[in-house]
Amino acid sequence: MAKFFDAHTHAQFAAFEHDWKEVIDRALREHVWMINVGTQKDTSEKAIEVAHKYEEGVYATVGLHPIHTEKSYHDVKELGMDDKAREFTSRGEDFDYDVYKKLAQDPKVVAIGECGLDYYRLGEETKKKQKEVFLKHIELAHEVAKPLMIHCRNAFPDLIEILTSNIQRLTSNSPGVVHFFTGAPDDAKKLLALGFSFTFGGVITFARNYDEAIKMIPLDRILSETDAPYVAPVPYRGKRNEPAYVIEVVKKLAELKDVPVEKMERQIFTNAKNIFNI
């Protein structure tokens, strides 16, 4: 039986603190496999812990999200509520290479990230630090021979420049994926040339900004995601997102690529297995 694949979700986040197992089990019953993506040390550790509770179908990544390289903001859906959280600020975190290397060597870890660049409302010093941390992720991915799980917001020129300059350090088979792709078709072409694939999430079910890029990206470079608990697809808009809802994303991708849903489902699952060596 074919399976769906949620290539980027966060079922280990605090938003699922009380029902993460129910959420994951519900997805697995719907034949949805998933990767829980780490964004800091603690959420990376939690992603591994959750993955080890399942023989197959649930995997993890480890990494430091660019917004967490400095104190900026705190998302209670991600880390939960405590006294510091009430200030709505990220505690910030240094990227400890040795700590993340040890985590990355776990057999349930299939990629390095969520890493990359996020320039939304940030100054030049923060951008500089994000670049430095991103380069460390690239080095780690090279050392452990695992693909990158990339986040990019308002920073595609710098992202492409860094990846191009470090092409020799990228995993040759499949260097990774750019999650929740928001770039222009020209950005997609440059990233395709570097060997990257792309994940698309619930936003494509209600916004048309991504149609052109999706139509020009080859089927074997497309993946589906939820980015749960965020941005639920139609018909679940306004609700907490969850991995099972990735089925709606696959349906929309099939429509935009003008292929049967079953073909899109099989292709995405094959893509995920190839990229993440599952």
DSSP 64: -
54-84: burial string, b at 16+ Cβ within 10 Å, e else: beebbbbbbbbbbbbbbebebbebbbeeeee
Which tens digit of pLDDT belongs to each residue from 1-14?
Answer: 669 999 999 999 99
In this predicted model, what pLDDT tens digit does every residue of 215-243 receive, in sequence order?
999 999 999 999 999 999 999 999 999 99
Spatial neighbors of 265 by CB under 8 A, at least 6 apart, are 2, 3, 4, 250, 254
Cβ atoms < 10 Å from Cβ of 161: 13
> Could you tell me the pTM of the whole model?
0.93
- pLDDT at residue 88 in the model: 39
**pLDDT below 70 — which residues of the chain?**
1-2, 72-91
| Secondary structure letter of residue 2 according to DSSP | -
Q: How many CA atoms lie within 13 A of 160 on its CB side?
A: 15
> For 4-108, where are the E strands, in sequence order?
4-9, 32-37, 58-62
Angle between helix 124-144 and 97-104 (nearest 10): 40
3-state secondary structure of 236: coil
Q: How far apart are CA 16 and CA 68, in angstroms?
A: 20
Domains of the chain: 4-64+93-276 (3.20.20.140)
The tokens describing 25, both together, are: 């089990």
CA 266 to chain centre: 20
pLDDT given at position 86: 38
Q: How many CB atoms lie within 10 A of CB 219?
A: 14
SS3 52: coil
How far is it, in rounded angstroms, from Cα 157 to Cα 187? 8
pLDDT score for 79: 59
The whole-number pLDDT of residue 74 equals 52
Output the pLDDT for position 83: 46
Write down the pLDDT at residue 124. 80
The tokens describing 129, both together, are 């630090």
Give the separation between CA 20 and CA 37, rounded to whole angstroms. 14
